Amino acid sequence: MNDGSERAAPTLSDVARHAGVSLATADRVVNRRAGVRAATIERVEAAIRDLRFERHAGAAALARRAGFRAVALLPRGTNPFIARLAEELSEAARIEGLRRLDLSVETVDGFDAARLAEAIRRAGAEAEGLIAIGLDDPGVALAIDELAARGVPLVTLVSDVPGAARARYVGIDNRAAGRVAASLVGRFAPPGEGRVLVLIGSRDLRDHRDRLEGFRETLAGGFAHLRPLGIVEGQDDAGQSFAAVRQALAAAPEPPVAVYSAGAGVAGLAAALHEAGLRPVVVAHELTDETRPLLESQALDALIVQDPGHEARSAVRVLMAALAGTALSEDQERIRIEIILKDNLPK
């Protein structure tokens, strides 16, 4: 006997109502038919996640194919943005799994190119498709090329390997993000000449290198009175970032008027500046449990943000399209940059 304690499973009508669209529109999104705007697709997808609506593949599709096996390779460590990305990938995979995708999330040493290449080959021997945060390294590119030659697509996420035969890159324009960071630093820094310190995770990460190049380009072109103090690597780890910044400050001929953090480990950066009694302009990346309190306390001035949920869903959609041979909505897969200050910090 049903005493009403268990809620009935949500229906497609519930999804349509929650998203504020017609039943026909919800049906088109669920069944991936054309003719729906990208913004509307996102609203329906959000309703599906909110209601935990389960989409079952049609009987004909199930008869044709039981499912695709896929693996997402993410760097292990303490980077809170990567932790959030892993959660979002698991959720996106749960939803997409009902459309014939079985995706598991695995961790690997993200700063060791040889181990990443080995992990790509190992996962590619069993999986039919991969998602990976790339290292721009010849060995990693070769591993991706080997998969492509066997018909196994790999989607690079957040950090690209542009010379490789990857199916697609999903992420922001990191060179543009670096240019935005330089513009913020240039406008926020006090007038007059000064030095700028840059913290990155690793030069082997294409996203960090692209940010650095964009930053240098705009700083030199528009704010020539601000000169580089140095570039330090913190491996996206708070402890290593603290040590690297502390050492750089001790060796510097003068304190920086601004600091740009192109990667993670921002808590370590803030701690090193606090220990030195310095409060330069600080621009960093990503809104996380680590950076939010620093922005609230004004230890940071601005964050340049990408949406990990959008990136995870896009990576899964792109991989599924590559596996199933279906089309994508290009506007839906465009990942945008957002600037967050204390004034517009989301609750």
- Model confidence band, residue 58 (pLDDT cutoffs 50, 70, 90): very low
- Model confidence band, residue 323 (pLDDT cutoffs 50, 70, 90): confident
- Model confidence band, residue 31 (pLDDT cutoffs 50, 70, 90): confident
What pLDDT score does 150 carry? 86
Q: What is the arithmetic mean of pLDDT over 297-315? A: 97
Separation CA 117–CA 180 (nearest Å) = 32
Separation CA 204–CA 77 (nearest Å) = 16
Q: What is the arithmetic mean of pLDDT over 309-328? A: 89
Share of the chain above pLDDT 70, in %: 91
Per-residue pLDDT of 100-116, as tens digits, reads 788 999 999 988 999 99
Q: What is the arithmetic mean of pLDDT over 260-268? A: 98
Of 45 and 60, the structure prediction assigns the larger pLDDT to: 45
Highest-scoring range by mean pLDDT, 73-77, 145-149, 244-248, 329-333: 244-248
β 194-200/258-261 pair status: parallel
Q: Does position 5 have pLDDT exceeding 60, yes or no?
A: no
What pLDDT score does 56 carry? 57
The class that CATH gives domain 67-171+308-335 is alpha beta
What pLDDT score does 34 carry? 66
Cβ burial 54-75 (10 Å sphere, 16+ → b, else e): ebebeeeeeeeeeebebbbbbb
What pLDDT score does 60 carry? 37
Per-residue pLDDT of 136-178, as tens digits, reads 999 999 999 999 988 899 999 999 999 999 999 999 999 999 9
Helix (H, G, I), strand (E, B) or coil at 252: coil
The domain ranges of the chain are 12-51, 67-171+308-335, 174-305
What pLDDT score does 77 carry? 87
What pLDDT score does 227 carry? 95
Highest-scoring range by mean pLDDT, 63-72, 88-97, 120-129, 172-181: 172-181
CATH homologous superfamily for the domain 174-305: Response regulator (3.40.50.2300)
Q: What is the arithmetic mean of pLDDT over 318-344? A: 90
The answer to whether 67-171+308-335 and 174-305 have equal CATH topology is: yes
Please tell me the pTM assigned to this model: 0.80
Of 3 and 108, the structure prediction assigns the larger pLDDT to: 108
Share of the chain above pLDDT 90, in %: 70
Q: Does position 133 have pLDDT exceeding 90, yes or no?
A: yes
Q: Does position 8 have pLDDT exceeding 80, yes or no?
A: no
Direct distance between the N- and C-terminal alpha carbons of the chain, in angstroms, rounded to an integer:
43
How far from 279 is each of 190, 226, 245, 246, 269, CA to CA, in Å? 12, 16, 14, 14, 11
Q: Which two tokens stand for residue 83?
A: 């932790």
Q: What is the arithmetic mean of pLDDT over 37-43? A: 85
- The percent of the chain in helix, strand and coil, each rounded to the nearest 5, is 50, 15, 35
- Model confidence band, residue 99 (pLDDT cutoffs 50, 70, 90): low
Separation CA 314–CA 169 (nearest Å) = 10
- Model confidence band, residue 285 (pLDDT cutoffs 50, 70, 90): very high
Q: What is the arithmetic mean of pLDDT over 70-79? A: 94
